[in-house]
C-alpha cells in the first residue's frame, strides 16, 4: 500500500464518526497489503520526533523555501497546519511514490536539529508530496491527525481489530495489554495468538483508581485500605542484578532513582514486577511536597538530585513474582505475594476502619487513602471502581492543557492562565474551564517554554495548543449550566503531572459523576 492511499483513507474518514470510520476501513481491509505498518501509522507507534508545531513550521518553510509567516497565515485561515498546507499553493500537484514503510521511517526521524541528515530527508520527501500527502504527513508528524478516529487511548483501533478479525473486544483488549497494535495485527494476519505473558523488562499499563461516592465503594468485609502517597507511580522490574524502573508512561527512568535500585537489589526476592509509589521525604522521613520531585525528573546531575530530594518507596501490588504472573488473580490471592516484599504501603485490613485510618494518614502528611476490593484482578490500563481514591472533600481531576494566554503585570512575559479539558467519548477533549491559580513563577516559566512549540493557532488573544501537558487540579465544586456545559468553581493547580500520559486524564463522565 502506498502513502498516498493512506492519505486518501484519512481524507475519507475525516468527517465520519468513529463507528462509520471503522466500517469504512473494515470494508477496505483486504485491499491493504502492509497491514502491520498501516496499523502502526494509525496508532502512531513510531518514536517521538521532538517536533512540535512551531518547529514544524520552521522545517516546512525551510524545506519549501517560503517564509514562515506564509505558512502561519494559511494556518490561521484554515484552522490547522495540515489543512493550511493542503491549500498552500507551492506548485506541487503530483503524488509521490512513497511507500508506507518509507513514510513510517520519515515520521520516526529525530528532528531535534535542523542542521542534520534528518532535515535533508524531510526536505526531499515533502518536496515530492502532493498537497494531500503534505496535509496528512505533517498532521501525523506532530501527532495530531485530527481524523476523528485516532485517539490517545487507541480504543477505536482496538474496536477495528475486533471487528475485522472477529475477535471479542475483551480478547483484543487483553492482547493490547501486552502487545503493540501493529504486533497484534501481524499475529492475527498470520493466524497466531499474540503473547500474553508477563516478562521482566516488558512494561504493563497500570491499573487506575477512581474517586467515587461512598455508596459505590467495595463492601466493608471485602476490601482493604492503604495510605495514598503524594508521589509518582512506578513499575519496578527485577531479574537478579538487572533492575528496571518504568514511569507510568512506560518510559525507563532507572537512572533517576539509583537509591531505589540499591534498595531493591538488597531484597531477597530476585525476580519480580511490582507496582509502587516513589515519594519525596523530609530529613525526618515524613512526606515532603510533591514539587520537590522535580529535581529528580529534570535534574541533569543525578547524584545532586538524589541528595536534594531523598525519596521513599511504597510497594502496593505485585504483578509477577518468581516467574509467576499474578494479574489474573484477585487481590486476596495477590496479597500473600505482596506481603513478601519489604517497603510495603501502609495497609489496614479491617475495611470498616475508614474514618480512623483516613485520619491517621492525613495526620502523618499523606494524601488520603485507597479503598481496594479484595475480589479485583489487576485490570491493566483500566480506571476501575475496584480501586477508589478517598481524599479531603474537594474535587480533584487530572486534566490536559488545550489553550494558554499571557498574563498581566509580572506575568506579562509568560502564559498566566490556561484552558483545561478532560477526554470525551469521541476520542477528543471537552473543555471544562480555565485555571490561573496555584502556579509558582517557576511553574509558569516552565509551562511557557514547554507550550510554545505546541502552539496550534491564535485567536481572541488565546493560543490553542496541542494537548500534551497534564495538570492535577483541585476545585471546590463542579457546575453545569443550562446548556449542559460543565465548569469548575475556584479551580487551583496542584502539580504538573509529567509522570502521567494524556490517555489517563479524567473523562467527562468522571466530571458528571462529581456533580
CB 435 within 8 A of CB 401: no
Show the cell assigned to 141.
508528524
Helix 35-42 crosses helix 181-189 at what angle (to 10 degrees)?
160
CB 381 within 8 A of CB 392: no
Instruction: Write out the DSSP string of 5-21.
Output: HHHHHHHHHTTS-HHHH
Q: Which residues contact 167 (CB under 8 A, 6 or more apart)?
A: 161, 188
Q: Which residues are catalytic?
A: 228
Give exposure, 269-281, as e/b (b: 16+ Cβ within 10 Å): eeebbbbbbbbbb
Show the cell assigned to 360.
491517621
Please state, in angstroms and rounded to a whole number, the distance separating the CA atoms of residues 487 and 46.
Answer: 36
Number of Cβ within 10 Å of residue 123's Cβ equals 17
| Backbone φ and ψ of 246, nearest 5° | -105, 135
Please state, in angstroms and rounded to a whole number, the distance separating the CA atoms of residues 24 and 9.
Answer: 9
Amino acid at each position: 500500500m502506498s502513502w498516498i492511499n493512506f492519505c486518501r483513507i484519512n481524507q475519507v474518514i475525516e468527517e465520519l464518526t468513529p463507528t462509520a470510520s471503522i466500517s469504512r476501513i473494515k470494508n477496505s481491509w483486504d485491499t491493504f497489503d502492509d497491514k502491520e505498518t498501516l496499523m502502526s501509522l494509525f496508532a502512531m507507534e513510531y518514536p517521538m520526533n521532538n517536533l512540535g508545531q512551531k518547529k514544524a513550521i520552521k522545517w516546512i518553510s525551510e524545506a519549501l523555501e517560503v517564509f514562515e509567516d506564509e505558512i502561519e497565515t494559511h494556518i490561521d485561515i484554515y484552522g490547522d497546519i495540515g489543512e493550511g498546507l493542503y491549500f498552500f499553493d507551492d506548485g506541487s500537484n503530483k503524488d509521490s511514490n512513497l511507500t508506507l514503510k518509507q513514510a513510517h521511517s520519515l515520521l520516526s526521524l529525530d528532528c531535534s536539529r535542523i542542521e542534520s541528515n534528518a532535515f535533508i530527508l524531510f526536505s526531499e520527501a515533502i518536496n515530492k508530496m502532493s498537497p494531500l500527502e503534505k496535509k496528512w504527513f505533517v498532521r501525523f508528524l506532530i501527532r495530531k491527525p485530527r481524523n476523528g478516529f485516532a485517539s490517545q487511548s487507541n480504543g477505536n483501533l482496538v474496536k477495528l481489530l475486533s471487528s475485522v478479525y472477529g475477535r471479542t473486544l475483551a480478547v483484543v483488549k487483553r492482547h493490547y495489554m501486552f502487545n503493540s497494535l501493529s504486533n497484534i495485527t501481524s499475529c492475527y494476519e498470520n493466524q497466531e495468538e499474540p503473547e500474553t505473558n508477563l516478562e521482566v523488562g516488558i512494561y504493563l499499563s497500570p491499573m487506575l483508581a477512581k474517586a467515587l461516592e461512598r455508596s459505590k465503594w467495595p463492601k466493608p468485609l471485602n476490601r482493604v485500605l492503604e495510605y495514598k502517597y503524594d508521589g509518582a507511580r512506578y513499575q519496578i522490574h527485577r531479574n537478579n542484578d538487572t533492575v528496571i524502573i518504568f514511569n507510568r508512561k512506560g518510559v525507563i527512568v532507572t537512572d533517576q532513582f539509583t537509591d531505589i535500585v540499591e534498595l531493591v537489589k538488597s531484597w531477597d526476592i530476585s525476580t519480580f514486577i511490582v507496582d509502587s509509589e516513589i515519594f519525596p521525604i523530609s530529613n525526618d522521613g515524613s512526606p515532603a511536597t510533591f514539587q520537590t520531585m522535580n529535581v529528580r525528573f529534570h535534574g541533569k546531575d543525578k547524584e545532586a538530585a538524589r541528595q536534594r530530594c531523598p525519596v521513599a518507596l511504597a510497594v502496593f501490588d505485585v504483578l509477577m513474582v518468581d516467574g509467576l504472573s499474578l494479574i489474573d488473580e484477585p487481590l486476596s490471592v495477590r496479597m500473600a505475594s505482596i506481603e513478601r516484599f519489604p517497603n510495603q504501603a501502609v495497609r489496614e485490613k479491617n475495611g470498616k476502619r475508614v474514618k480512623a485510618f483516613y485520619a491517621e494518614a492525613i495526620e502523618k502528611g499523606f494524601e488520603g487513602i485507597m479503598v481496594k476490593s479484595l475480589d479485583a484482578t489487576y485490570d491493566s490500563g483500566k480506571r476501575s471502581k475496584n480501586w477508589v481514591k478517598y481524599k479531603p472533600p474537594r474535587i480533584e481531576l487530572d486534566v490536559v492543557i488545550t489553550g494558554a494566554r499571557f498574563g498581566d503585570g509580572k506575568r506579562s512575559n509568560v502564559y498566566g492562565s490556561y484552558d483545561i479539558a478532560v477526554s470525551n467519548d469521541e476520542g477528543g477533549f471537552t473543555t471544562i474551564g480555565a485555571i490561573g491559580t496555584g502556579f509558582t513563577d517557576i511553574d509558569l516559566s516552565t509551562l511557557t517554554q514547554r507550550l510554545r512549540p505546541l502552539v496550534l493557532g491564535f485567536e481572541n488573544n488565546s493560543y490553542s495548543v496541542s494537548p500534551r501537558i497534564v495538570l492535577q487540579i483541585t476545585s471546590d465544586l463542579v457546575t453545569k449550566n443550562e446548556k449542559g456545559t460543565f465548569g469548575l468553581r475556584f479551580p487551583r493547580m496542584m502539580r504538573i503531572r509529567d509522570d502521567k500520559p494524556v490517555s489517563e486524564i479524567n473523562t467527562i463522565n468522571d466530571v458528571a459523576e462529581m456533580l
